[in-house]
Chains A and B, each alone.
Chain A
């Protein structure tokens, strides 16, 4: 528009320039001349005026054409080029200006293209660098996660709100071990990304430790950590060490900003009173004492290393008890004996009657002392003997390892005789395997045995490891000499003797002959360990999980609680934490007596399905299963028999789902089951519920089927392991995660919007 206006003005100016000078000259001449001259002038000029006008008009038109051409080429051509340049700047980076028009414009276009080229190269370069940096970070993150998951110590990282950002498998096991009762599934899951650490550890203790750390930081301590020991609800003792996570980069401006931001926020639940004071003191102090290093460091979270010391503690206590039983328990008896003996010595001429009474006192007390000693030793034997760093190992694993080693080093064939696979021992596996190999080597060298058989059995608290061979008998004396030699196998020498190893384990070894079978054997006796069932099942679990567990989510560092525990309906769907669940039931009619027989749930945090954080529990319905249902859910009477009832499972499930949004497919059905139990079990599910069935109807209103399989197929999700509660919960969770961006495309972003939209759909009218 503006250009067009300018064109019109330019045209007018051109017209004036062409006619103006002539008209002005004519007027001046006219004004200067006399009447006669004027008449002659007019007579001369007027007949020739049309010709002049015509020539001027032609001239004007030619000028106008020239002007238009220039205008189009320079003004509008440049405008067009500006548009394409904008395009290159924004939408389409690869677009280039076509050099067009007069040479100057073409030159300008080429220069612009060259600039764009240079920019693209730079951008590509930066992109590549960013990608590379990201890959490095990702790799480091993975390495960290791998490291964490293998650590033998429980590690939990939390932000200042006490939300868990990272935990390793050991931490999960430790807390799982703390859970009581049949629904340990939920107890183990109480540790979870985004969950509050305060459900496990006491808030006061954490706050206190954090304050200590902050105080130490302000004093400039190099290693500001805090230790505390806490007892859990189950009575277990945990030793925790807290180390702060500090904001990296000592950029004081950034810290200042961050502190300002903290001031704007309502104080987090963690800060409590003390925390507030600390925080409010921060910025004020900063102005005066900026030089102090403590002010520069901001704590953004903390690392807790957690060790369950219940067992150590019990063992210590047992040791103390044993020691006391051996000392104090014998003081009185020894006192009695000593008094009697001294009296006897001091009174040589004692009457026979008295003498006999004194002697009996001595005899009785000595006997009692021996008995007490025996009792103490048998009761505390384990705790007294295991001062070495011994570990609980499956006995059969030790034998297998020893067999491999013997076959490998000595080329001596090994046969396995009956071996009790359930036996656990407290051993130092390396030295024990060394000892077994050493004996095998000696037998091979001195008695030329051709094969060795290994046997494993148990008696009471003892595990027997037998090394059996046939033929040549050995004398007990030989074994005695072997026991005292340093163990050497080939070039490998150990500073320990066989006796050392045996003593270290509080064990014994002897030689025995089985004359009937023409065989002989060495028998090693090692104290049995209390079967660590938990560890066994966890190992199995560990083997079965093929992908690395997602135990960490540092993105939660930024997340702060909106309003304590309540769920904010106006938060984005992508930011919320969900418990996606499913139930299997005896039938489809909750109101006419059908019951829940299985519950499964999985957590979704920060847009990720956390396959490790699950709830999976069979439920004894207390009524017979309907034969029609068994082929569908695959759950039999035998499977539910002995399982906990719903009165235990539902409260556990309720705890699992605390502070999360519930998600289920056809949630109305499941919720109806819960509602019917609300009063009798005193468990009320008040959190918002999202239904993938309804959401599917929102997203694809024209599709006929909204069955879970169909939706999963539509959204391109592989369905594995359906029709177990947990399997269905997994599928539902994946479906839900795919739905979140689709909903966002429709303008449904917050939880409130999703709930409203779901309610409006046709299916919302179905009630059970």
Chain B
């Protein structure tokens, strides 16, 4: 059974690449445009991994990450955070809040896929 990945980003220009890429790798992909939509989707879609952008309207990636981690139904879900800011403090915060990986834009698609594969084992 193929893994399910939820892509959460408000920028369609990155979503298009991520969606295409992950589908090509054989994952089942769903997309959410902001934090609130992401939380709603997560409950129904029950992803194995969430690809989560930090800077988003309504709810930031950090808040989404925290909420997801607080939900026991989604205990096993992996979270990979994407950020456009390369500050170390932010990386530390993301990992502290329960993210499994932290990737800074711009990133290599190959690396991203490799990380996702590794996480989903």
**Chain A contacts to B: CB under 8 angstroms:** 327-328, 331-332, 334-340, 342-343, 346-347, 354, 357-358, 361, 364-365
Q: Which of B1-39 contact A (CB under 8 A)?
A: 11, 13-14, 16-18, 20-21, 24
Q: Are B108 and A338 in contact (CB under 8 A)?
A: yes
Chain A residues with CB under 8 A of B21: 339, 343, 346
Q: Are A335 and B106 in contact (CB under 8 A)?
A: yes
Whole-angstrom CA separation of A328 from B105 in the bound complex: 9
Known: A338-B109, A342-B109, A343-B109. A327 touches B86 (CB 8 A): yes
The interface bits of chain B over 101-114 (1 if a CB of A lies within 8 angstroms of the residue's CB, else 0) are 00011111110000
B85 sits at the interface (CB 8 A): yes
Q: Are A328 and B106 in contact (CB under 8 A)?
A: no
Interface CB pairs A-B, < 8 A, 5: A328-B84, A331-B84, A342-B109, A354-B20, A361-B13
Chain B residues with CB under 8 A of A340: 13, 16-17
Chain A residues with CB under 8 A of B16: 340, 357-358, 361
In the complex, residue of chain B having the shortest beta-carbon distance to the beta carbon of A339: B17
Q: Are B17 and A336 in contact (CB under 8 A)?
A: yes
In the complex, residue of chain B having the shortest beta-carbon distance to the beta carbon of A365: B13
Whole-angstrom CA separation of A435 from B13 in the bound complex: 50
Known: A337-B106, A346-B109. A332 touches B84 (CB 8 A): yes
Whole-angstrom CA separation of A337 from B84 in the bound complex: 13
Q: Are A331 and B13 in contact (CB under 8 A)?
A: no
Partner of A335, one of B14, B20, B24: B14
Chain A residues with CB under 8 A of B105: 331-332, 334-336
Whole-angstrom CA separation of A346 from B22 in the bound complex: 12
Chain A residues with CB under 8 A of B17: 336, 339-340, 342-343, 358, 361
Q: Are B109 and A332 in contact (CB under 8 A)?
A: no
Known: A339-B21, A354-B20. A332 touches B14 (CB 8 A): yes
Q: Are B84 and A339 in contact (CB under 8 A)?
A: no
In the complex, residue of chain A having the shortest beta-carbon distance to the beta carbon of B24: A347
In the complex, residue of chain B having the shortest beta-carbon distance to the beta carbon of A360: B13
In the complex, residue of chain B having the shortest beta-carbon distance to the beta carbon of A342: B109
Q: Are A331 and B14 in contact (CB under 8 A)?
A: no
Q: Are A336 and B13 in contact (CB under 8 A)?
A: yes
In the complex, residue of chain A having the shortest beta-carbon distance to the beta carbon of B105: A335
Chain B residues with CB under 8 A of A354: 20
Partner of A342, one of B86, B104, B110: B110
Which of B14, B86, B107 has the largest count of A CB atoms less than 10 A from its CB? B14
In the complex, residue of chain B having the shortest beta-carbon distance to the beta carbon of A343: B17
Known: A328-B84, A328-B86, A343-B20. A336 touches B11 (CB 8 A): yes
Chain B residues with CB under 8 A of A328: 84-86
Q: Which of B73-121 contact A (CB under 8 A)?
A: 82, 84-86, 104-110
Chain A residues with CB under 8 A of B55: 332
Q: Are A342 and B108 in contact (CB under 8 A)?
A: yes
With both chains docked as a complex, state the minimum distance between the C-beta of B117 and any C-beta of chain A, in angstroms.
15
Whole-angstrom CA separation of A342 from B21 in the bound complex: 9
Chain B residues with CB under 8 A of A335: 14, 82, 84, 105-107
Whole-angstrom CA separation of A346 from B110 in the bound complex: 9
Secondary structure at the A interface, as helix, strand, loop or mixed, is helix
With both chains docked as a complex, state the minimum distance between the C-beta of B107 and any C-beta of chain A, in angstroms.
6
The interface bits of chain B over 25-67 (1 if a CB of A lies within 8 angstroms of the residue's CB, else 0) are 0000000000000000000000000000001000000000000
Q: Other than the known A339-B21, A339-B106, what 6 A-B pairs have Cβ atoms closer than 8 Å?
A: A331-B85, A331-B104, A342-B108, A343-B20, A361-B17, A364-B13
Whole-angstrom CA separation of A364 from B17 in the bound complex: 14
In the complex, residue of chain B having the shortest beta-carbon distance to the beta carbon of A329: B84
In the complex, residue of chain A having the shortest beta-carbon distance to the beta carbon of B82: A335
In the complex, residue of chain B having the shortest beta-carbon distance to the beta carbon of A364: B13
Chain A residues with CB under 8 A of B11: 332, 336
Chain A residues with CB under 8 A of B18: 339
With both chains docked as a complex, state the minimum distance between the C-beta of A341 and any C-beta of chain B, in angstroms.
9
Whole-angstrom CA separation of A671 from B103 in the bound complex: 73
Q: Are B110 and A336 in contact (CB under 8 A)?
A: no
Whole-angstrom CA separation of A79 from B20 in the bound complex: 129
Chain A residues with CB under 8 A of B14: 332, 335-336, 339
Chain A residues with CB under 8 A of B84: 328, 331-332, 335
Chain B residues with CB under 8 A of A361: 13, 16-17
Whole-angstrom CA separation of A357 from B106 in the bound complex: 19
With both chains docked as a complex, state the minimum distance between the C-beta of A412 and any C-beta of chain B, in angstroms.
56
In the complex, residue of chain B having the shortest beta-carbon distance to the beta carbon of A345: B109
Q: Are A338 and B24 in contact (CB under 8 A)?
A: no
With both chains docked as a complex, state the minimum distance between the C-beta of B89 and any C-beta of chain A, in angstroms.
13
Whole-angstrom CA separation of A365 from B11 in the bound complex: 11
Whole-angstrom CA separation of A571 from B24 in the bound complex: 94
With both chains docked as a complex, state the minimum distance between the C-beta of A759 and any C-beta of chain B, in angstroms.
71
8 shortest interchain CB distances as A-B pairs: A335-B105, A339-B17, A332-B84, A335-B106, A331-B84, A334-B106, A342-B109, A336-B13
Whole-angstrom CA separation of A361 from B11 in the bound complex: 11
With both chains docked as a complex, state the minimum distance between the C-beta of B101 and any C-beta of chain A, in angstroms.
15
Chain A residues with CB under 8 A of B20: 343, 347, 354, 358
Whole-angstrom CA separation of A334 from B109 in the bound complex: 13
In the complex, residue of chain B having the shortest beta-carbon distance to the beta carbon of A337: B106
In the complex, residue of chain A having the shortest beta-carbon distance to the beta carbon of B18: A339
Whole-angstrom CA separation of A332 from B106 in the bound complex: 7
Chain A residues with CB under 8 A of B107: 335, 338-339
Chain B residues with CB under 8 A of A346: 21, 24, 109
Q: Are B109 and A331 in contact (CB under 8 A)?
A: no
Q: Are B106 and A338 in contact (CB under 8 A)?
A: yes
With both chains docked as a complex, state the minimum distance between the C-beta of B69 and any C-beta of chain A, in angstroms.
25
Chain B residues with CB under 8 A of A331: 84-86, 104-106
Whole-angstrom CA separation of A15 from B106 in the bound complex: 137
In the complex, residue of chain B having the shortest beta-carbon distance to the beta carbon of A328: B85
With both chains docked as a complex, state the minimum distance between the C-beta of B83 and any C-beta of chain A, in angstroms.
8
Chain B residues with CB under 8 A of A339: 14, 17-18, 21, 106-107, 109
Whole-angstrom CA separation of A145 from B41 in the bound complex: 76
Whole-angstrom CA separation of A684 from B82 in the bound complex: 63
In the complex, residue of chain A having the shortest beta-carbon distance to the beta carbon of B53: A332
With both chains docked as a complex, state the minimum distance between the C-beta of B3 and any C-beta of chain A, in angstroms.
19
In the complex, residue of chain B having the shortest beta-carbon distance to the beta carbon of A357: B16
Whole-angstrom CA separation of A342 from B14 in the bound complex: 12
Whole-angstrom CA separation of A365 from B17 in the bound complex: 13
Whole-angstrom CA separation of A100 from B105 in the bound complex: 116
Whole-angstrom CA separation of A337 from B11 in the bound complex: 12
With both chains docked as a complex, state the minimum distance between the C-beta of A328 and any C-beta of chain B, in angstroms.
5
With both chains docked as a complex, state the minimum distance between the C-beta of B97 and any C-beta of chain A, in angstroms.
20
Whole-angstrom CA separation of A347 from B23 in the bound complex: 12
Chain B residues with CB under 8 A of A365: 13
Whole-angstrom CA separation of A553 from B86 in the bound complex: 56
With both chains docked as a complex, state the minimum distance between the C-beta of B116 and any C-beta of chain A, in angstroms.
13
In the complex, residue of chain B having the shortest beta-carbon distance to the beta carbon of A324: B85
Whole-angstrom CA separation of A339 from B16 in the bound complex: 9
With both chains docked as a complex, state the minimum distance between the C-beta of A426 and any C-beta of chain B, in angstroms.
32
With both chains docked as a complex, state the minimum distance between the C-beta of B49 and any C-beta of chain A, in angstroms.
17
With both chains docked as a complex, state the minimum distance between the C-beta of B82 and any C-beta of chain A, in angstroms.
8
In the complex, residue of chain A having the shortest beta-carbon distance to the beta carbon of B104: A331
With both chains docked as a complex, state the minimum distance between the C-beta of B53 and any C-beta of chain A, in angstroms.
9
Which of A327, A337, A361, A365 has the largest count of B CB atoms less than 10 A from its CB? A361
Whole-angstrom CA separation of A365 from B13 in the bound complex: 8
Whole-angstrom CA separation of A391 from B24 in the bound complex: 60
Whole-angstrom CA separation of A567 from B101 in the bound complex: 70
In the complex, residue of chain B having the shortest beta-carbon distance to the beta carbon of A361: B13
With both chains docked as a complex, state the minimum distance between the C-beta of B58 and any C-beta of chain A, in angstroms.
18
Whole-angstrom CA separation of A339 from B82 in the bound complex: 13
Whole-angstrom CA separation of A67 from B16 in the bound complex: 141
